[in-house]
Amino acid sequence: MDKELEWSYEIGRTAEFIESNKLRRVALQFPDELLKDSVRIVTALRASLSEQVGLFLMADTAYGSCCVDEVGASHVDADCVVHYGHTCLSPTTKLPSLFVFGKAPITVSHCVTNLLHYAQPTGKPVMVLFGLDYAHSIQQIRESVMAAGGRDYKREVQFADVMCSVMNPLSDPQVSNDIAADGVTSSNSFGTVSGNVYRIGGLVWELPEGSKMEDYLLFWIGSNNSAFANIVLTYSGCEIVRYDASECSMVTDLSQQRRILKRRYYLMEKAKDANIVAILVGTLGVAGYLNMIHQMKELITAAGKKVYTLVMGRPNPAKLANFPECDIFIYVSCAQTALLDSKEYLAPVITPFEAMLAFSRGSQWTGEYVMEFRDLKNSSPVESRNQSEEARFSFIQGGYVEGFDREGNDAEEDKEGALALANVTEKALQLRDDPNTTAKRTAKSGAEFLAARSYQGLDIHYDTSLPGPYLMGRKGRAAGYQDEKSM
Residues 34 and 162 in one domain: no
User: HEC string of 143-164?
Assistant: HHHHHHHCCHHHHHEEECEECC
CA distance 334 to 64: 8
SS3 80: strand
Residue 483 has pLDDT above 50, yes or no: yes
Tell me which H or E stretch contains 58.
Answer: strand 54-58
CATH number at residue 69: 3.40.50.11840
Please report whether residue 369 resides in a domain. Answer: yes
CA distance 399 to 410: 27
Residue 357 has pLDDT above 60, yes or no: yes
Residues 322 and 426 in one domain: no
Strand ranges across the sheet with 249-251: 157-159, 126-130, 217-221, 239-244, 249-251
CATH number at residue 142: 3.40.50.11850
Please report whether residue 386 resides in a domain. Answer: no
CATH number at residue 298: 3.40.50.11860
CA distance 441 to 426: 13
Average pLDDT, integer, range 126-142: 94
Residues 124 and 71 in one domain: no
Q: Give the model's pLDDT for residue 458.
A: 63
> Chain-wide mean pLDDT for the chain?
79
The residue length of the chain stands at 487
SS3 346: coil
Residues 112 and 237 in one domain: yes
Please report whether residue 293 resides in a domain. Answer: yes
Residues 238 and 113 in one domain: yes
450-459 per-residue burial string, b: 16 or more CB within 10 A, e: under 16 = bbeeeeeeee
- C-alpha distances in angstroms, 131 versus 20, 185, 365? 29, 16, 28
Please report whether residue 10 resides in a domain. Answer: yes
Q: Give the model's pLDDT for residue 106.
A: 95
Residue 173 has pLDDT above 60, yes or no: no
Residues 211 and 282 in one domain: no
Q: Give the model's pLDDT for residue 18.
A: 95
pLDDT tens string 248-281? 999 888 777 677 888 888 888 888 888 999 999 9
- Of 83-97, 131-145, 379-393, give the range with the top mean pLDDT: 131-145
Domain boundary pick from 67, 100, 133: 100
Please report whether residue 341 resides in a domain. Answer: yes
- C-alpha distances in angstroms, 115 versus 106, 236, 433? 14, 20, 66
Residues 199 and 297 in one domain: no
Cβ count near 121 (within 10 Å): 7
Domain boundary pick from 100, 128, 153: 100
Residue 1 has pLDDT above 80, yes or no: no
Query: CA-based diameter of the chain, in Å?
Result: 91
Lowest mean pLDDT among 39-43, 107-111, 153-157, 162-166: 153-157
Residue 385 has pLDDT above 80, yes or no: no
Residues 246 and 115 in one domain: yes
Domain boundary pick from 216, 236, 253: 253
Q: Which range marks the domain in which residue 23 is found?
A: 3-100
Running DSSP on this structure, what letter comes out for residue 62?
S
The residue among 217, 221, 257 whose CA lies nearest residue 239 is 217
Residues 124 and 219 in one domain: yes
Residues 55 and 77 in one domain: yes
Predicted confidence band of residue 154 (pLDDT cuts 50, 70, 90):
low
CA distance 368 to 55: 44
Residue 171 has pLDDT above 90, yes or no: no
Q: Give the model's pLDDT for residue 189.
A: 31
CA distance 30 to 40: 13
Q: Give the model's pLDDT for residue 414.
A: 44
Cβ pair 56, 81 in contact under 8 A: no
Contacts of the segment 342-347: beta carbons below 8 A, 24+ positions apart? 342/267, 344/317, 345/317, 345/320, 345/321, 346/317, 346/320, 346/321, 347/320
Please report whether residue 459 resides in a domain. Answer: no
Residues 159 and 264 in one domain: no
Please report whether residue 393 resides in a domain. Answer: no
Q: Give the model's pLDDT for residue 437.
A: 42
**Tally of structural domains, the chain:** 4
What share of the chain in percent tops pLDDT 90?
Answer: 36
Predicted confidence band of residue 93 (pLDDT cuts 50, 70, 90):
confident
Q: Give the model's pLDDT for residue 185.
A: 37
Cβ pair 99, 87 in contact under 8 A: yes
Residues 152 and 92 in one domain: no
Predicted confidence band of residue 465 (pLDDT cuts 50, 70, 90):
low
Q: Give the model's pLDDT for residue 55.
A: 95
CA distance 238 to 217: 6
CA distance 73 to 70: 5
CA distance 29 to 92: 14
Q: Give the model's pLDDT for residue 161.
A: 94
Please report whether residue 462 resides in a domain. Answer: no
Residue 149 has pLDDT above 80, yes or no: no
